[in-house]
Amino acid sequence: MPSQTHPSLYLDSKFGNFVLKTNKTPKPGPGELLVRIEAAGLNPVDWKIQKYGMFIESYPVIVGTDVAGTVEEVGQGVSSFAKGDRVLYQGSWAEDRAGYQQYNLIDASTAAKIPSNISLEEAASIPVAIGATVIGLYNPKPQGAGLVAPFEASKRGHEAGKPFFVFGGATSVGQYVIQFAKLSGFSPIITTASLKHEQHLKSLGATHIIDRHNPLSSLPDEIAKITTKPFEIVFDAISASETQEAGYNILSEGGTMIVVLTTQVKSLTSGKNIIHVFGVFTLPETRELGVQFYSQLEAMLKEGVIRPNRVEVVPGGLNGVVPGLERLQSDQVSGTKLIVRPQETIV
């Protein structure tokens, strides 16, 4: 039995500090799971919420939404999970549902069992970045590009013969975008990244890596050496103003560019679409895809067609969150996902 309270990392106020406090351990309601959180992934949005006061108006709040753990208690009506199952899921910014704590709740319909070939830490690298990827590519418009979702083998390869471009292949998001582009059948799959990541990104499915340090003005010439076909889909996992402009320039008429941050393209034309993806499955418009996706995720991980990010564990349990976020903010994380183990927290 979990204790009635547990340590949680609160952001105490808008633009405030992260503070370790005690939170009440909730009971799972119908359709829910109570999970003992073993690993939580760090995301850029966590420091952006603190620094820019984005998204959240009500404080104190707990953040952290990449979560993996073991099921502690099963709510009424849940038959697909049992106590002790290892699960991964996307938390949300609520006291009983966020990840930077030792226990939280999740809807069983948007959780997946973790197969034995994946560690809890690797599993915690998956939910947020894969959510942005899956919604951006496969949710019906306007939340996503509306491509055929390749979760099951029979639905794969639908985009065969079409080229795909992703900015930032070594980002956490970019690594899942490459893998799904491959499952959808796109080829070639071209990405920008530091060349030290070339071998890894090719193992995920990228066919061509363009050095991210090259000037973006040279991009059309570099692409022309690889393909002359039009890009119907461009995914910008960086979404700086200059990558968005460069992506929009190479996008075909009628094509769709998916961006992960606010749209910044200056000269929009009516024939090209931009989708600013919001990678959460809790919206009414994204929930159906989320349930469908999470029902297939365990099988995709077991099959090895989706591989988690490489991970680095930051020591100190929840006390590792602040130094980890500082590293993310100062661009000191390269091609890996930072993970903390909340159960190792010393209060």
Ligand X SMILES: NC(=O)c1ccc[n+]([C@@H]2O[C@H](COP(=O)([O-])OP(=O)(O)OC[C@H]3O[C@@H](n4cnc5c(N)ncnc54)[C@H](OP(=O)(O)O)[C@@H]3O)[C@@H](O)[C@H]2O)c1
Question: Which residues would be at the binding site for ligand X (CB under 6 A)?
Answer: 43-45, 128-129, 132, 167-168, 170-173, 192-194, 212, 237-238, 260-261, 277-279, 328, 333-335
At its nearest, how many Å lie between ligand X and the CB of residue 116? 26
Round to whole Å and give the CA distance between 250 and 116.
Answer: 41
Q: Where are the alpha helices (DSSP H) in 31-163?
A: 44-52, 120-123, 127-138
Look up residue 100 and give its two tokens: 């930077």
At its nearest, how many Å lie between ligand X and the CB of residue 45? 5
At its nearest, how many Å lie between ligand X and the CB of residue 90? 10
Closer to ligand X by Cβ: residue 64 or 75: 64
Q: Which of 131, 244, 128 is nearest to 192 (CA)?
A: 244
At its nearest, how many Å lie between ligand X and the CB of residue 194? 3
**19 beta partners:** 10
Q: CB under 8 Å to 8, separation ≥6 — which residues?
A: 20, 21, 22, 23, 62, 95, 98, 100, 101, 102, 318
Closer to ligand X by Cβ: residue 20 or 226: 226
At its nearest, how many Å lie between ligand X and the CB of residue 14? 18
Closer to ligand X by Cβ: residue 45 or 181: 45
- Cβ burial of 52 (10 Å; 0-12, 13-18, 19+) is exposed
Closest chain position to ligand X (CB): 279
Closer to ligand X by Cβ: residue 161 or 215: 215
Return the ∠ at Cα 130 (arms to 129 and 135), rounded to 5°: 105
Closer to ligand X by Cβ: residue 113 or 337: 337
At its nearest, how many Å lie between ligand X and the CB of residue 99? 14
Closer to ligand X by Cβ: residue 23 or 256: 256
Round to whole Å and give the CA distance between 190 and 209.
Answer: 6
Q: Where are the alpha helices (DSSP H) in the chain?
A: 44-52, 120-123, 127-138, 172-184, 198-204, 219-224, 241-250, 287-303, 321-329
At its nearest, how many Å lie between ligand X and the CB of residue 110? 15
Closer to ligand X by Cβ: residue 23 or 192: 192
Q: CB under 8 Å to 306, separation ≥6 — which residues?
A: 130, 176, 179, 180, 183, 297, 300
Which helix H or strand E contains 194, and what residues bound it? none
Closer to ligand X by Cβ: residue 176 or 231: 176
Q: Which of 347, 333, 335 is nearest to 46 (CA)?
A: 333
At its nearest, how many Å lie between ligand X and the CB of residue 164? 16
Residue with token string 């034309």: 269
**6 beta partners:** 23
At its nearest, how many Å lie between ligand X and the CB of residue 260? 4
Closer to ligand X by Cβ: residue 90 or 102: 90
